[in-house]
Every structure is written in structure tokens, then in C-alpha cells.
Structure 1
Amino acid sequence: MSTDTPTSEHPLAAVAPPTAPPSRRRRSLLPILGILVSVVALAGVVWWATKQEAPTFPSTAGQISALIGAIGLYALATVVRAERWERLLKDEGATPKRVDMYMLTVIGYMGNNVLPARAGDAIRVFLAAPRANASKRTVVGTLVAERLLDVAVLLVLFVAVGYGLLGEVGGNSVELIAVLAVGGAVAAAVGWRLISNNEKVHGALAPIASATLGLRKAHHGARLLVMTLLIWAIETGVWMATGAAVGFNMGVIEGLYMVALASVFSMIPSGPGYAGTQDAAVATGVKALGGTGGTAVSYMLMLRFVIVVPITILGLILLVARYGGIKNLRAARAEARS
């Protein structure tokens, strides 16, 4: 499969006016909205944190071991994510190298942690397409399939754990989320049916939808679903180990609830690294599970360290050492805006 060219991505580029079209200006509002949401949410979390007792950090051998274990588990989850992405690309006829999938997954998470509007995904598309002999739209389609797999598993976890097992901890929100999930699935099915009847639109979106539609194949879809379940099982271990590192011990059910709750909050548009929104979810979850305010702040800070700092540092090193450095960050961002 050949990679996209500027002409194939923008067939009308030669006659486009020099000013940005309205649709591009509208799209640019989403990152601004996300940053505003993060600023407001983060300000609220910081204000709340200043009213709590001082946080504590790992000090005993057991707590330090738990922290190291949390970082190791997060690395393992990242490996499984890379393997899942490789399977999605190969099913679309691409020829990715496993080493690139591992490195670009790390780089993508680094980009999401330091850039707004999940720009790490744009970096993955920009760097993966030529190396996997795939079009950019095909790579985008695999990322969409990844997201849908994650959302499906997390919503089921949130509803099942929050409502069926933890009862009142989930509140009435689980019913609303279940209704919204069903409504979203119905809307997506109806939308695809309408798109498939429009030959021009269908031709443009078919490469993006292909990876998701490919999940209907029993063996392929089941394998990716199992991989997704494994990813979130490992992620739950990350959250549990991080809790143990600050003296907030959780069982599997509580760990699943925290992961699902934070992931639902992360669906809200926000700035880099889900700043503010994920922190609010952590504070809400810890308090709901009986933790103190100081414990919530300690857990929040330590979790941020585990899931942001190591992968961001490693991603920057890999980007500079193997993929052309910061100039490719700028190129990917320009590509995402176009």
C-alpha cells in the first residue's frame, strides 16, 4: 500500500484560498476548549488539594517496591498496546515492524502528555504511515478502532463494577452512561448506513472505518477484544500498585472502578495528559472508596508520576534518537491542522 501524498490528502490544495477555511477554524476551537476545561478543572483540584492534609510519598521498602512495580506494569500495558496496534495494521494489509510499533506507541503517549488535542496520535499517524506502507487514513482507522475497543471495555467495566458490585459508589450516573452508550452505538450504526449510501463520502471514509469494521471478523475481533481486556487488567494493576505505594490499598474491584471512572472522566475534552479531568476523577474515586483528602492528593501525585514521567522521557529520547526529533513534532502538528 502506498503512503498518502499531499495531493491525495488535499485534492483542492492548489486552488484553496490563502486564508483558513471556516471548518478549519471551527476545528481549532476544540483544543482551546480542552485547554480551558483543563485549566478550570485543574484550578479546582489545586484549590481543593490546598485544603487537605499534606500528601505523603513512598518511604518504606514495600511502598517503594510497589511504586517500581506500578511503573513496570505500565510498561507492560504499553507493550500490549503496541502489539494490538500491530495486529490492527496487519489486518489492513500494512507491513509494520514490531520495533516501530513499540517505539511509536511510546512516542504517541509522550505527545499526548505534552501537547493538546491528543497530538500524539497525529505523530503516530505521521511517522507510522510510511514505515508500515499504509495510507495515513488507514493508520487513523486503526487508532479509531483502538479507541472504540477501549471505550467499549471501559464502559462495560464502569457500569458492571460501579452499579452491580459497588452499588451506591457509582451513583445514578451509571444508568445515564449506559443509555448514552447504547444511544451512541445506534447513532453510529445509522450514521454509517447513511454514509454508505453516499458514494463520495463513503469513498473518503472507508479507509478510516475499515479497521473498525474488520472487528466483525470473529477470530480477529475476539483476539483484539482479549488484548484490550488484558490491557485494562494490567492498567488496573498499575492503579492498585500506585495506591499501595501511598498506603491506599485497594482490591481488584476497587481498582477496576478507579480505572473505569478516571477513563470516563478522560472522555471530557481536556488539555495535555488529561490534566484536571483525570485528577478530579481520582479525587472523586478515592473519597468514594473511603480515602481521606490527603490520601487522594498523595495518590493523585504519585499516579501522575507513574503514568506520565517515565513514558514521556523515554518518548522524547526515542523521537530524537530515531525519528528526526522535534521537527517531526512540528510537522505532525501541521499535518493535523491541515
Structure 2
Amino acid sequence: MKKLILGFAISALSLGFLFWNLDLSGFQTILDRWQPIYLLPFFIAIIWGLLLFSWRWYLLLHKKVSFKISLLSAYIGVGANQFLPARGGDLFRLYLCRQGTDIGYGSLVSGIFLEKVLDFSFIFCAGLGALSVLGVNQTDTKILFPLLGIIGIFSALAIVRFFHPKLVLLGEFLFSKIGKREFFRDKLAAQVTELGSFLTFRNISTYGFLTGATWLFGYAIHYTLLQYLVGIHLSPLETIFIMFCGAVGVMVPSAPSGAGVYHASITSGFVLLGRDSSEGLVYATTVHLGQMISLGILTAILYVYWSFSGQEKKIAPRM
């Protein structure tokens, strides 16, 4: 409850700051630039991006669930994230995958964990790389910081890959100092070992390609289509950087769907690119509402289908 209250407070403060300090004139011109013809391809792009997301989820679970269950749980779970606090849609996705299957929660949690690592690694490297190439308002020295961030991510993954047994021992030692050794063994050690074993060349190339395709040929397309919807145009590299800003925004504790913090992060990205802050707020609001409405519709339809198909009644979950 405390985390939920904190999240809502952060979102409220972020929204208050934005609407109090920024010029909101950009909202007055939306109707003049509005191009509703892009709504249909945007909706299709949402479906396409989640289809790629679902396929990766299916593979991360080692095909222990059918692709139909993987697809439905991914669509419903991602949509639920727009309305449930603390990324509750991910827990909902785990629950849905358990219904009608005999897959264990351990495999599901490992799949979610690896998924987050893949997404985090890709979008941070892509965003920092785009920022470095754009070189917006940066000196030669400052351009090095994004590159150092990318090197840091790859170095951390390499350390986990080759030294995960020692990292587990180090984690047990450190957590034992604060009386949390059993917590580390039960909750974290298996994830470190799983990630270390997962980071092979074959897995990195396969899942890395799927992750890149999901972001660049899924999410980036609907980010671009929404630009045309409201007459705000960014280059491909700028779009990748703004997606990176949005991803950072939803990582901060906030209200469901990152309201407020997401808007502040996107707006800050526009300012870094030398664009007008009110333009950034208009775009952030457009993306946020577009995703909430489209995913809300999809989630409602698919959840009703799931319920009436009797999928959840086939096999009772095992403890």
C-alpha cells in the first residue's frame, strides 16, 4: 500500500510540475494538425508489436505453453499494465499462463526476468547509442558518457555470463551480513544462475534479434504513426531516443501506466533534442492515451474471449 501511495504521489507531483510550468499552447493546435487516418495503422502496429512480443515470450518459456496461451496472456498482461499498479499486468500474465497448463511458477518467473533483462539491455543501448550519434547539445567529452553506459551494460552481462557461480557466492556472503541469506538463496540466486546460463551466443543472437525486432519494427512503428497523427515529426534516431526516455519513465515508481513520470521523461527527451517542451508534452500525452485506449480495448476483448472459452478451467494450477 505504501508503494502504491508513493507511486500516485510521484505521478501527481510530475503532472503538477508539467502543467504548472510548461506552455500548454501546443494542445490548442492539435485539431489543426490532427490526421485521424493514422489511427487504424496505429492500432494494427500495436497488434503487430505485441505479436512479436508474444512470440519471444513463447520461446522464453521453452514452448512449455501453447502459442495461443502465450499470445493471449501477453496481450492481456501488457494491457493490464496500463491500469494495474506496480506492473501488476506481469503477475496477471503469470497467472494466466498457469491456467490450463502444468508449467511451474519458477519457469514463468525466470521467463519474465530474462524478458526484462533483454528489454532493458536493448533499449538502453539503443537509446544511448542514438543520443551519442545525434550528439545534441553535447561536447566531445559528454558524447563519451552514453558510450560508456553501453560498454557498462555489456560488461555487466559478460561478468554474469562467465562469473555467475562466484556472483552467487558473493551475494550469499553479502546478504548474510544483513541477515537475508535465505532470501537471496530463495529469490535471487536462481535468477543470477539462470541469466548466466542463458547468455550464450546462440541465445543472445536469437533473442536479441527478436527483442530488436519487437522494439524497432513493433513499438517504433506505432511511436512514429502517432507522430503523424498529431503532426510532430522526429527522425528515426530521435524516435529511438524518445522510446528510451519513455522506457526510463515507466521504470520509476508511479501510478499505473507511468502517468506523470512517463510524460515528464518524454518531455525531457524533447528538450534534450532541442525541441519545444510543449510539443513533447503533447506527444507524450498522445502516446500515453493511444496506448491506454488501444490496449484497453484489446485487453477487454481478449479477456472476455479467454473467460468464455473456458481455458482457465482445463487444468487446476498445481502448488
TM-score category of the 2 structures, normalised to the smaller one: 0.7 to 0.9
What SS does the corresponding residue of 1:113 show, helix, strand or coil? coil
Q: TM-score, normalised by structure 2?
A: 0.79
Q: TM-score, normalised by structure 1?
A: 0.75
Give 2:170's aligned amino acid. L
Is 2:170 the partner of 1:194?
yes
Kindly state the Cα deviation for residue 118 of structure 1 after the two structures are TM-superposed: 0.6
Is 2:57 the partner of 1:88?
no
Distance 2:93 2:220 in 1: 25
Question: What are the Cα deviations for residues 143-168 of structure 1, in whole angstroms up to 9, with x where unaligned?
Answer: 11100000001111122111233343
Out of 38, 43, 51, the position equivalent to 1:79 is: 51
Report the equivalent of 1:107: 76
Kindly state the Cα deviation for residue 272 of structure 1 after the two structures are TM-superposed: 0.4
Question: What are the Cα deviations for residues 296-334 of structure 1, in whole angstroms up to 9, with x where unaligned?
Answer: 333222212322211112212322331489xx9xxxxxx
What SS does the corresponding residue of 2:30 show, helix, strand or coil? coil
Is 2:13 the partner of 1:40?
yes
Out of 31, 41, 49, the position equivalent to 1:69 is: 41
Give 2:16's aligned amino acid. A
Kindly state the Cα deviation for residue 230 of structure 1 after the two structures are TM-superposed: 0.6
Give 2:263's aligned amino acid. D
Give 1:87's aligned amino acid. L
Question: What are the Cα deviations for residues 216-270 of structure 1, in whole angstroms up to 9, with x where unaligned?
Answer: 2332331111000111102122212211211111111111111112212322122
Distance 1:55 1:324, change over 3 A: farther
Distance 1:122 1:322, change over 3 A: same
> Is this contact kept in 2: 1:88–1:211, CA < 8 A?
no
Distance 1:204 1:291, change over 3 A: closer
Is 2:223 the partner of 1:239?
yes
Is 2:137 the partner of 1:134?
no
Question: What are the Cα deviations for residues 4-49 of structure 1, in whole angstroms up to 9, with x where unaligned?
Answer: xxxxxxxxxxxxxxxxxxxxxxxx5333322222121122223245
Choose 208-217 or 112-121, whichever is displaced more: 208-217
Distance 1:203 1:296, change over 3 A: closer
Question: What are the Cα deviations for residues 180-201 of structure 1, in whole angstroms up to 9, with x where unaligned?
Answer: 7579669975643435789965
Out of 293, 296, 299, the position equivalent to 1:312 is: 296
Q: Structure 2: which 5+ residue stretches go unaligned?
A: 313-319
Give 2:212's aligned amino acid. L
CA RMSD of aligned residues (A): 3.4
Distance 2:189 2:104 in 1: 12
Distance 1:155 1:178, change over 3 A: same
> Is this contact kept in 2: 1:116–1:271, CA < 8 A?
yes
Give 1:129's aligned amino acid. R
Give 1:222's aligned amino acid. S
- State the identity %: 19
> Is this contact kept in 2: 1:35–1:116, CA < 8 A?
no
Distance 1:103 1:163 in 2: 38
Q: Structure 1: which 5+ residue stretches go unaligned?
A: 1-27, 329-338
> Is this contact kept in 2: 1:237–1:255, CA < 8 A?
no
Give 1:85's aligned amino acid. W
Choose 44-53 or 103-112, whichever is displaced more: 44-53
Distance 1:96 1:51 in 2: 48
Give 2:276's aligned amino acid. T
Out of 131, 137, 141, the position equivalent to 1:168 is: 137
What SS does the corresponding residue of 1:249 show, helix, strand or coil? coil
Distance 2:122 2:51 in 1: 18
Choose 116-125 or 189-198, whichever is displaced more: 189-198
Is 2:255 the partner of 1:283?
no
Distance 1:209 1:54, change over 3 A: same
Kindly state the Cα deviation for residue 98 of structure 1 after the two structures are TM-superposed: 1.1
Distance 1:224 1:179 in 2: 20
Kindly state the Cα deviation for residue 175 of structure 1 after the two structures are TM-superposed: 7.0
